[in-house]
Amino acid sequence: MAEEKFSLRCYCYLDRMQPQYAAFVGTITQGDLPTEGMASLYVEMAPGNEAFRMVDIAVKATEAKPGAQLVEREFGMFEVHSHNQAAVKEAGKAVLDRLGLKVQDRIRPKIASMQIITNVDPYQAQLLNRFRRGSMLVPGETMLVLECAPAAYINLACNEAEKTASIKIMHVSSVGRYGRMWLSGSESEIITANEAATQALSAIDGIDG
């Protein structure tokens, strides 16, 4: 069988993890726990098994600590973080150098879908609250559902949304073919959050996937 060609699906740097976002990640991570203010780097790749080698390179290069290392059938993803932004950037540089790639070789993110639901019904709020890992959705609030590909870019979208708007993070999923986030708040704040998330994703350069 021919060896599968390496693909840098996502290279996503977060300069400063926001309070809610860091707290949410802490509820799902299986590695080193991040805290507010840390810098973070998400790298997603194919084939998935390459994640093992990439994490080894990243953590041996600097003091950055690994928070996630996930390997699926198609894709692999890892995250490293530190209060030292330079350490996180250096970990990413070490990975790119070993691969012989540049940041611009990553796949450019695309928004797969976006929905804003106003005045959420109490029954729908109850249903959604059963599946969220973050804040609860209160009836009457407005909800943003955003999906993007590659999946790991949703972390940047969520963090930038929290920087800009007073919202609640209900759920974030960054594994698989699509990344998804659910945010809630007032209608005006959700519109602001959506604009911030969209602009952050649109600003990322790369190649078409």
Look up the pTM and report it.
0.94
Model pLDDT for residues 12-38, shown as the tens digit of each residue: 999 999 999 999 999 999 899 999 999
Which of the four pLDDT bands, split at 50, 70 and 90, describes residue 1? very low
Outline where DSSP puts E strands in the chain: 7-14, 39-46, 65-71, 76-82, 110-117, 142-149, 168-173, 179-185
Helix, strand, or coil here: 2?
Answer: coil
Say whether pLDDT at 144 is over 70.
yes
22, amino acid identity = A
Helix, strand, or coil here: 125?
Answer: helix
Nearest CA-CA partner of 148 in 177, 188, 117 = 177
Model pLDDT for residues 183-192, shown as the tens digit of each residue: 999 999 999 9
| Full set of structural domains in the chain with CATH | 7-105 (3.30.70.1710), 110-202 (3.30.70.1710)
Average pLDDT over all residues of the chain: 95
- Looking from the CA of 50 toward its CB, the CA atoms found within 13 Å total 21
